[in-house]
Amino acid sequence: METAYDGRQVVGMDLHRRRSVLVRMTEDGRRLGTARIANSPAELRAQIARAGRSPQVVLEATQLGGAVGDPAGFQLPAISGHPH
């Protein structure tokens, strides 16, 4: 599923050891696209780049959360999806 959208996007990231799922959304929560990727900085960069300029990146809080940091070297502000 892929939908065109010109506004600011949010990228939700569910990171796992070998593969991760990224969901691109509008700021009001409309799903624009979903990708399941093998974990590599190049794949992560490519998927986040699809979200346009200055996307908001939200990481699901997992056991890997502290080790992830900025895996693709984007220096983007990331928000933890965990409420605490």
Report whether 41 contacts 73 (CB < 8 A): yes
CATH topology of domain 9-79: Nucleotidyltransferase; domain 5 (3.30.420)
Mean pLDDT of the chain: 79
The torsion angles phi and psi of 74, rounded to 5 degrees, stand at: -80, -25
Q: Would you place residue 11 in the very low, low, confident or very high pLDDT band (cuts 50, 70, 90)? A: very high
Average pLDDT for 25-54: 92
Chain centroid, CA 37 distance in Å:
11
The confidence score (pLDDT) of residue 51 equals: 94
